[in-house]
Structure formats: structure tokens, C-alpha cells
Amino acid sequence: MTSRSAHRLALFADRDVLHAMAVAGAACLFSAGLVYLGYLVHVLRVARRASCRPQHGNCVLLFGKHSPQGRIDHDFEARLDRAASLWKSSPPASLVLLGGGAPGEVTEAELARAGLRARGMTDDTPLLLESDSRDTLQNLRNARTLLGERMRSRVTLLSSRYHLARCALFARQLGFDVELCAAEPHLRLDPRTWLRLVGEAGYVCMTDVGARWARLIGHRRMLARVS
């Protein structure tokens, strides 16, 4: 079993995650799927409407992507291309590269740094690396610690269009003021992207419904997972 698979298995075996899944599943079941459909529409809307040119963010958070044996896929390449384009047109004060990796392998943040240097960024570019996380929530929680007081200003979340709704949900739960930046110029609705959107909608549904339920019943431990 890979370290990524082990991480996911541990995550979905957690009793608070299972609690959230059960509540979200019940909400979807008793609404005849309308709750899930609402989240799918939301994820799709965010993916379609996200801008490629942030207006206010002085700090860009670039999300990495799983890269086994250091192999960067098309989605990761698109994120790097967008980050390099932003830097050339209107450089932010800082760029935070997010993402860890399996033990003994190059991290996603390190791969992003190498990819950006290959795209023309110099060694004196103010990059911050967060190389300890294995998922989106950990990305943002560690970035919050890394940024400290700087997170009080608006930050730009840069990722693939299908991923942005989840990024925004977690970031706002963690207290970030955010704007979104899409890696791709537009949303291409091919079968692969639809599968991504369907999965993201399920993840966002579970997280948001679970958090709302936890606030309703005053479940502090569950809330601490996303705050």
C-alpha cells in the first residue's frame, strides 16, 4: 500500500469523518439526491466562473498534486503555467507552494519550485514551501501557520477548476479571506473532468453538511477538524 493510500484509509476510518459521511449520506438519501445535486451545481458553477486573473490577492497559494516518483501530470503542469504567468504579469508579494509527498520522494512543493524555475523564475523569487501536508485541508492548515499574520490579508487560491470549490470551502472554514484563480483558461467538460466534479461534489457535500451538523449539535471535536 502506498503512503497516499494509507493516508486516505486512515482519514476515512476516522470516527469523525465517518460521522460526517453518515450525516451527509442521510441528507442526500432523504432528499432523494437533491442535497448532493445542489453541491454538484455549486462545484460546477465555481469551476466555470473562476477567473484566471486575481484582482486583490497579494499572496498566491499554489496547490500541488499527487506526483508519484516525481511525475507531474497535465493538471499540475497547468497550475505551474498559470503561476508563472501571474508572476510575469503582476508579481504577488509571495507565492506559497503547497504539498508534501511520500517518504524518500521529492515533495509536491519541491516539484513545483523546480517547475517554476524551469519556467523562468529566479532563485531570488520569494517562494515559501509547505512540504508536510498530504491533502487539501492539511495544505491550508499548514499554510495558515506558515503565513502567520500575513494570512489576515486576502490570499489567492490557485488550482485546477474542478478543485476550487473544495479549496474555497476549507480556506474559509480556516479563516482565510480568499479569491480564486483557475489554472485552465476555461472549463472543459470531458468525461474525465465530469468524474472529477462528481467526486469533488461528494467531498464538499460531506465536509459542509458535516460541519453544519457539528455546529448544530455542538460537537467541538468535529469542528476542530475543519477550523
- How do the domains of the chain map onto residue ranges? 14-46+191-225, 50-182
Confidence band (pLDDT; 50, 70, 90) for 76?
A: very high
CATH fold of the domain at 50-182: Rossmann fold (3.40.50)
Task: Name the grid cell of 24.
Answer: 451527509
Give the single-character DSSP code of 130. E
Sheet with 94-98, side-by-side order of all strands: 127-130, 94-98, 59-63, 155-159, 178-182
**Distances from the Cα of 202 to the Cαs of 33, 130, 138, 149, 207, in angstroms?**
11, 27, 19, 33, 9
Confidence band (pLDDT; 50, 70, 90) for 26?
A: very high
Please state which of the ranges 7-11, 77-81, 171-175, 182-186 shows the lowest mean pLDDT.
7-11
| Backbone torsions φ then ψ of 94, nearest 5 degrees | -155, 155
Residue 120 clears pLDDT 70, i.e. is over it = yes
Of 186 and 103, the structure prediction assigns the larger pLDDT to 186
SS3 category, 159: strand
- Write the pLDDT tens digit of every residue in 139-172: 999 999 988 876 667 899 999 999 999 999 999 9
Confidence band (pLDDT; 50, 70, 90) for 5?
A: low
185-208 core/surface letters (b: 16 or more CB in 10 A; e: else): eebeeeeebeebbeebbbbbbbbb
